[in-house]
Amino acid sequence: MCTLGSPRVGDPVFVRAFDAKLSGRSLRYVNGNDLVTHLPLPIGYQHVGAERCIAPDGSVSSGVPAFAHVSRALVGEPGALLEVIDGLSRGAPASAHTFLLDHMPKAYAVWMWNDYHANQ
């Protein structure tokens, strides 16, 4: 089973049961720019599955995003989001921003395939 950009989904009891049942058969792909993967706060909630982190260059590893990468997502995106909202209010944005494009299922599919192929 593979999840894409999943939030934290369960309490510690659920996570232990999930990971015991699907150990070695569950991967959680995380795009470090995706704020959803950092929610809800880790108070009572945890992630399931083995994490595969997608870096800004598209490479995939078992590491976690660097703090600078996460903070850029938290601080840098509102300006880009405002540009998209402004463009939509005028009829259509001039172009889609990277923070939207790299969260498309097609992007996740390419990264997952590349990760799978690299680990065969």
Q: Report the distance separating Cα 48 and Cα 116, nearest Å.
A: 19
What Cα–Cα distance (Å) separates residue 118 from each residue in 22, 60, 61, 100?
22, 9, 11, 26
Q: Which residue has the higher pLDDT, 96 or 62?
A: 62
Percentage of residues in the chain having pLDDT higher than 70: 72
The lowest-confidence range among 4-8, 12-16, 30-34, 78-82 is 78-82
- pLDDT confidence of residue 20: 93
Q: Which residue has the higher pLDDT, 29 or 81?
A: 29
What pTM does this model have?
0.67
- pLDDT confidence of residue 105: 76
Mean pLDDT of the chain: 78
What Cα–Cα distance (Å) separates residue 80 from each residue in 70, 95, 103, 106?
16, 11, 14, 21
- As beta bridge partners, residue 53 has 30, 61
